[in-house]
């Protein structure tokens, strides 16, 4: 049974407004910026190791190519319809995302980067009568500056702005839609399934349907205490958001709480030495990311697994956690401790498909080694040292060594300097063995001098 409560929607001239800006088919759009011949053609982008389809152009969607589908199952359909395939190019996508996100600062100082292709904007101070026109202008400017098309949803709460963005993307030719607390709101909410509401998972959707809540309108009018008991306090906040009462403010960008690097192997690996090489490469990459955000880690988590899809072969999954005496960013120590963890969980009778590492208990560097602290992270925090650590001078030398390593690899190219444990054959690094498969990868047009676009 659905419980109803009377409520009031508060409307005044000072109502707070949010906008959700979402890049349309982002990965595909990035590829089209540097290859305009792809416009109006079906295009798909693949996941790591060219496994699954993770982005589709509208033309590819029209061919009923589903999101997340293994590419080999749709290869005949792709070939028959001349669908263009690209491997993931995260260097390009990350840089293009930074350009789009930076553009928002020209229109409002209140920006919350929600994902690589989405951001919430606070529209405080905007004239309520012309906010729609302002967002149209912003959309036009972002496309002019970056070449990326976006959709904009406007609403009095973040949840309603998210819903407005869906409508803008699917039903609005101009790409901008505004939801207001008007007589049209009940109709909009009644056409939205409860599991399609931002923040409502499929599991929560099943629970809500059991008490008679099937769409957003029914959730908006439900008893908040009942919703809190049924799912959680988050569900209660969503009810208020649907009523036009903001409960979710903009969040500042924070540093990562963990850093994970893992890959599935191209072929099954059995011997310990090969697993060590892979792990050393992944730890080295994770440590580089850690230092880039001016961080230290308190420990690492190493995990290995067989191929769960090979049901006819014995399965094995295991992991091990190593905690450091003091937070560090030293790749040498991380690799050494990672090998200790791998030694504990390795079993010789299995064929392994995947290995990975997660750096845990991350903290901000609190010494004056770096020139400044990244503006995207919080202020440096005090870190409890080890009473018995008398190697402070060696620690400073290690930090300088790590900084030198990163600077050389940044200027001369990734992998210019590396550790022998990452794999050496004939005095050269085994570079491609542990890299992800990317047969259809485009150039890194914006981050590599050798890949700059050539115009005839």
Q: Same structural domain for residues 274 and 314? A: yes
φ/ψ of 345, rounded to 5, equals: -105, -10
Are residue 272 and residue 193 in the same domain, yes or no? no
Q: Is residue 139 part of a domain?
A: yes
Domain, as residue range, for 210: 181-242
Whole-number CA gyration radius for the chain: 25
Residues 99 and 73 in one domain: yes
Q: How many whole angstroms from its chain centre is CA 55?
A: 14
Q: Are residues 151 and 192 both part of a single domain?
A: no
Position 345 in a domain: yes
* Inter-residue contact 56 to 43 (CB < 8 Å): yes
Is residue 148 a part of any domain in this protein?
yes
| Among 242, 269, 285, residue at a domain's last position | 242
Tell me what pLDDT residue 63 has: 93
Across the beta sheet with 317-328, what order do the strands follow?
259-269, 352-364, 295-305, 317-328
Q: Which residues sit opposite 112 in a β-bridge?
A: 120
Q: Are residues 112 and 139 in the same domain?
A: yes
Read off φ and ψ for residue 244, nearest 5 degrees: 90, 10
**Interatomic CA distance for residues 162 and 10, integer angstroms:** 20
Nearest CA among 355, 443, 437 for reference residue 72: 437
Per residue in 274-297, pLDDT tens? 899 999 999 999 999 898 888 889
Q: State residue 9's pLDDT score.
A: 44
Same domain for 117 and 264, yes or no, is no
pLDDT of amino acid 364? 78
Quote the pLDDT of residue 317: 94
Look at residue 13 in the predicted model and tell me its pLDDT.
41
Distance from C-alpha of 136 to C-alpha of 147, rounded to nearest angstrom:
15
> What is residue 264's predicted lDDT score, i.e. its pLDDT?
83
Residues 72 and 220 in one domain: no
Separation of alpha carbons 221 and 216, rounded Å: 9
pLDDT under 70 in the chain at which residues?
1-15, 252-256, 365-395, 425-437
| CB-based burial label for 355 (10 Å; 0-12, 13-18, 19+) | buried
Same domain, 197 and 114: no
Tell me the CATH number at 74: 3.30.70.270
What pLDDT does 389 receive?
62
């Amino acid at each position: 049974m659905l419980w109803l409560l009377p409520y009031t929607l508060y409307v005044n001239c000072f109502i707070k407004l949010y906008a959700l800006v979402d890049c349309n088919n982002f990965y595909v759009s990035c590829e089209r910026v540097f290859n305009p011949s792809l416009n109006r053609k079906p295009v798909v982008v693949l996941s790591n190791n060219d496994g699954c389809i993770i982005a589709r152009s509208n033309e590819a969607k029209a061919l009923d190519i589903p999101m997340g589908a293994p590419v080999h199952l749709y290869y005949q359909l792709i070939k028959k319809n001349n669908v263009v395939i690209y491997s993931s190019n995260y260097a390009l996508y990350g840089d293009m995302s930074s350009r789009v996100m930076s553009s928002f600062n020209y229109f409002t100082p209140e920006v919350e980067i929600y994902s690589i292709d989405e951001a919430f904007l606070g529209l405080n101070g905007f004239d309520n009568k012309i906010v729609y026109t302002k967002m149209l202008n912003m959309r036009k400017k972002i496309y002019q500056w970056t070449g990326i098309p976006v959709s904009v949803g406007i609403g009095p709460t973040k949840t309603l702005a998210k819903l407005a963005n869906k409508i803008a993307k699917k039903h609005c030719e101009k790409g901008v839609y505004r939801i207001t607390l008007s007589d049209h709101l009940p109709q909009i909410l009644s056409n939205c399934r409860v599991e399609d509401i931002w923040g409502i998972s499929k599991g929560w959707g099943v629970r809500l349907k059991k008490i008679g809540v099937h769409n957003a309108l029914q959730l908006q009018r439900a008893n908040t205490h009942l919703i809190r008991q049924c799912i959680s306090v988050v569900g209660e906040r969503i009810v208020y958001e649907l009523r036009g009462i903001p409960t979710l403010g903009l969040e500042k960008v924070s540093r990562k709480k963990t850093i994970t690097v893992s890959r599935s192997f191209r072929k099954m690996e059995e011997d310990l030495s090969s697993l060590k090489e892979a792990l050393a490469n992944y730890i080295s990459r994770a440590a580089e990311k850690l230092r880039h955000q001016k961080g230290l880690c308190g420990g690492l988590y190493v995990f290995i697994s067989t191929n769960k899809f090979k049901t006819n072969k014995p399965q094995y999954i295991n992991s091990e956690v190593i905690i450091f005496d003091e937070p560090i960013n030293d790749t040498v120590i991380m690799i050494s401790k990672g090998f200790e963890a791998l030694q504990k969980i390795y079993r010789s009778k299995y064929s392994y498909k995947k290995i990975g590492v997660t750096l845990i208990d991350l903290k901000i560097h609190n010494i004056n080694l770096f020139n400044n602290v990244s503006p995207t992270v919080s202020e440096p925090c005090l870190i409890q040292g080890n009473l018995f650590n008398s190697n402070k001078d060696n620690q400073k030398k290690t930090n300088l060594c790590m900084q030198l390593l990163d600077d050389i690899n940044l200027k001369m190219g990734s992998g210019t300097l590396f550790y022998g444990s990452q794999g050496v054959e004939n005095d050269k690094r085994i570079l491609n063995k542990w890299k992800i498969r990317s047969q259809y990868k485009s150039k890194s047009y914006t981050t590599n001098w050798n890949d700059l676009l050539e115009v005839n």
